[in-house]
Amino acid sequence: MYVSVKGGERAIDNAHRWLAEARRGDPAVAELSLEQIAGQLAGSVDRVMAEGSLYDPELAALAIKQARGDLIEAVFLLRAYRSTLPRFGAAEPLDTAQMAIRRRVSATFKDLPGGQILGPTFDYTHRLLDFQLAAGGAVPPPAERAAEPVAPAMPRVADLLGADGLIEPEAADDGRPVGDLTREPFRFPVDRDVRLQALARGDEGFLLALGYSSQRGYGRNHPFVGELRIGEVAVEFVPEELGFAVEIGTLTVTECQMVNQFKGSAERPAQFTRGYGLVFGHGERKAMSMALVDRALRAGELDEAVQAPAQDEEFVLYHCDNVQATGFVEHLKLPHYVDFQSELEMVRALRAAAGRPAEEPEDA
């Protein structure tokens, strides 16, 4: 049991004042603006929005600034802010086939309708530090523009190739209410909607490690990236007072369709199966990891042996949330004096019972 403590107000105030000073850094150096963070640290902003489960680049930039760049702390701040707002309702599902494509690649199909679009990517860079960036001041040349734009909408590869049955078709929505882990606790086994929600806001590092473990043989399922796409999609919402859908804004999202080998089972023919990833922002590592873990978690449904951590739904869902995880781990550093005192007495009693009294310090 945790017994609370009191006192220390002055020390706490002073500690927070020091934190504020340290956060600001050298006052002779220009202060970071939210526009700078949102515009030039977009990868951090996108990660905080995805794991904070709240799309608002300006708020995410503020959270990053306040957290001194500690992204899990920033996620925590965003989650806390979110809990103060009312919910107006749920939007219509995003139609990723209508995405304004910035990047779209497939590792399995060379000639896709619409083409392979590299977009602004780190892929194929040499990962050499660029000391020109350190010097600053250089304005990069504008991005090249082709005469013809890419198509305004591109079909999803899995839908194109699913038609002949070699890739399993996606089960249609059955109209059941959509589960929401922010409103109801998990009840295992959970449905795929709740699982996808948990993964979409799950910690990138945790999901990356689990996805990697599945590639290394802990629940192996032979994945290929069927398609990875990044771009902007419109959000439509039906206000009760209007009764029709209106576009309320645009989101940048990353979607990954993983295509996996499957030998078949008593009920299903041999065919490729699918894992799915969808995250806020430009987050391909996270979307790919999510798709790997989503597929691993379908083991039971596909009559595969559930043996590895990535296939264990309770293990994955109870541990993928970094705000919950950090809360429980970090509470250990708060005062536990009463707890520890009682444990200390128990250890002393056990030692006394075993005939080995604790050695008393000489000048106690």
Touching another protein, residues 151-190 (CB under 8 A): 152, 156, 158-159, 170-174, 178-182
Rounded Cα distance between 114 and 186, Å, is 40
Among 64, 107, 101, CA closest to 229: 101
Tell me, residue by residue from 96 to 115, as one string, x for binding to another protein by CB under 8 A and - for no binding: xx--xxxx------x----x
Rounded Cα distance between 56 and 46, Å, is 9
Q: Scanning residues 24 to 53, which ones bind another protein (CB under 8 A)?
A: 49-50, 53
- The smaller minimum CB distance to another protein, of residues 278 and 323, is found at 278
| 167 DSSP assignment | B
Cβ at position 117, least distance to another protein in Å: 5
Tell me, residue by residue from 205 to 244, as one string, x for binding to another protein by CB under 8 A and - for no binding: ---------------------------x-xx-x-x-xxxx
CB 12 within 8 A of CB 334: no
Which of the stretches 25-33, 65-73, 252-260, 340-348 binds another protein when contact is defined by CB under 8 A?
Answer: 252-260
Contact call for residue 92 and another protein (CB under 8 A)? yes
**Cα atoms found within 13 Å of the Cα of residue 11, Cβ hemisphere only:** 3
Contact call for residue 247 and another protein (CB under 8 A)? yes
CB 296 within 8 A of CB 210: yes
Pick one of 255, 284, 313, 321: the residue that binds another protein (CB under 8 A): 255
CB 313 within 8 A of CB 297: yes
- The smaller minimum CB distance to another protein, of residues 7 and 142, is found at 142
Rounded Cα distance between 354 and 352, Å, is 5
Pick one of 48, 54, 67, 310: the residue that binds another protein (CB under 8 A): 54
Give the chain's largest Cα–Cα span.
Answer: 88
Tell me, residue by residue from 124 to 143, as one string, x for binding to another protein by CB under 8 A and - for no binding: -------------------x
- Cα–Cα–Cα angle for 87, 90, 95, rounded to 5 degrees: 145
Distances, alpha carbon 233 to alpha carbons 94, 117, 302, in Å: 7, 17, 32
Cβ at position 24, least distance to another protein in Å: 25
């850094």: which residue's tokens?
Answer: 25
Q: Scanning residues 268 to 297, which ones bind another protein (CB under 8 A)?
A: 274, 276, 278, 280
Pick one of 148, 164, 267, 362: the residue that binds another protein (CB under 8 A): 148
List of residues 6+ apart from 27 with CB closer than 8 A: none
Cβ at position 76, least distance to another protein in Å: 15
Would you tell me how many other CB atoms lie within 10 Å of the CB of residue 64? Answer: 26
Contact call for residue 254 and another protein (CB under 8 A)? no
Q: Scanning residues 316 to 355, which ones bind another protein (CB under 8 A)?
A: none
Size of the site for another protein (CB under 8 A): 85
